[in-house]
Amino acid sequence: MSTVESPPDAEVDAVLAERVAALIAVHGADAPDLLGARFDAGLAFVHHPVGLGGLGLPAPWQARVEELLLAAGAPAPAPYRNPLGIGTAVPTLLAHGSSALQQRHFRPAWTAEEIWCQLFSEPGAGSDLAGLATRAVLDGDTWTVNGQKVWTSFAHVARWGLLLARTDPDLPKHQGLTMFVVDMQHPGVEVRPLRQATGGQEFNEVFFTDVTIPDAHRVDLRGRGWDVARTTLFNERSAVGARPVPREDGHIAWLADLWRSRPDLRTHEMHGRVTDAWIRVEALRLANERIRQLAATGRPGLEGSGAKVAHTETTQVVTRLRAELDPEAALRYDAWDPALAPPREDRVAGYHYLRSRPYTVEGGTTQILLSQIADRVLGMPREPALAKETPWSEIPR
């Protein structure tokens, strides 16, 4: 915490310690209402303004709050229950939403009483997200939405969605988009689960038929949707966590454990491949740890895109190797019916082999990310493209 300069460290630390102690004293370390009370005490997002789950402190203090809570016996927060609410909807609304939207949504998103989804990708707009076609038409102070979204996680359980829609088709594609908060319980919203090659159903297709949205649920100005979406996607990609990742975490641990516990599987060739995989994962962990340390000093990093490319490709190597190392097991599968599947950490190697294949596609393909690095980090000449001022309605599709 020595990198946080003002206000003075000791003073802030004392305030946080006092608040955590008061919180635990009133609610206990493991009470069901602890999350809500944390929000009310300003300990949910310390960098938020007072009243919106925060204390107006620099963001790095959040790590100190987590430390204090952990020391007090409180369970680690479970953002995985509402990752898109906490990870993307809240920061997006913080930067771009009206005060009314912030007041309404932050607390139930934090407590996971209201789950969020993110309605961006469409069948015709994957990598070219800004080319999306779902239309929102304004009449009075109500918008009417028609169109289709796809690859929407959590849509089947979501109470709210962050919806990117086209409001002005005759403007250039980036300028004709607007962001909305959409009620997923509206009768015109139909959610259909999308079955994947693993048998699992993590994603959905979402169909909008004459779904109405009050203009008060618009996020930022009409036509500013692309800027808002960039905030959302930036937060989605800042996946590098607040605390260091231990050595041999996740897939590589499963691979190393298999190698150590099954001498009968060892060959020289596999030894080389397992060692190489271990080196790649450890190097990646250190590169991410460096990004984390840079971020903690407030130095902005453009390294996120590179980390995603390296992480996904390395994970694919590791999951494939784990399956190949034990071929008897890799020929078999645990369950094609998601209702019968064991928890993720207990699934067979074949599942993880399959599930990691699209890692290099989802959340920004490797090719798009490499192009971004070439553009934004290395300042390379641009690829040939349609003139930026081409109206969306005139783009061939």
What does the binding site for another protein look like in residue numbers (CB under 8 A)?
244, 246-247, 256, 259-260, 263, 266-268, 271-272, 274-276, 278-280, 282-284, 286-287, 289-290, 293-294, 297, 303, 306-307, 309-310, 367, 370-371, 373-374, 377-384
Helix, strand, or coil (residue 124) = coil
Q: Which position has the token pair 């996946």?
A: 239
Least distance in Å: CB of 34 to another protein?
29
Least distance in Å: CB of 130 to another protein?
19
Least distance in Å: CB of 306 to another protein?
4
Distance CA 210, CA 187 (A): 9
Kind plus residue range of the DSSP H or E element containing 3: none
Task: Give whichever of 58 and 301 is closer to another protein, judged by the CB atom.
Answer: 301
Chain centre to alpha carbon of residue 27? 30
Out of 122, 236, 248, 362, the active site residue is 236
236 labelled catalytic: yes
Phi-psi region of 134 (alpha: psi -120 to 50; beta: other; left: phi over 0): beta
CA-to-CA dists, residue 155 to 117, 193, 202, 230, 358, angstroms: 5, 9, 9, 21, 20
Helix axes 61-71, 9-27, angle to 10 degrees: 40
Distance CA 229, CA 119 (A): 10
Give the residue among 117, 16, 118 at the shortest CA–CA distance from 58: 16
Phi, psi of 359 (to 5 degrees): -55, -35
Kind plus residue range of the DSSP H or E element containing 105: helix 99-110
Distance CA 3, CA 10 (A): 13
Task: Give whichever of 379 and 396 is closer to another protein, judged by the CB atom.
Answer: 379
Task: Give whichever of 363 and 391 is closer to another protein, judged by the CB atom.
Answer: 363
Task: Give whichever of 81 and 273 is closer to another protein, judged by the CB atom.
Answer: 273
206 forms beta bridges with: 149, 191
Q: Which position has the token pair 């005490």?
A: 41
Least distance in Å: CB of 387 to another protein?
15
Task: Give whichever of 260 and 388 is closer to another protein, judged by the CB atom.
Answer: 260
Distance CA 334, CA 348 (A): 6
Task: Give whichever of 157 and 296 is closer to another protein, judged by the CB atom.
Answer: 296
The catalytic residues are: 236
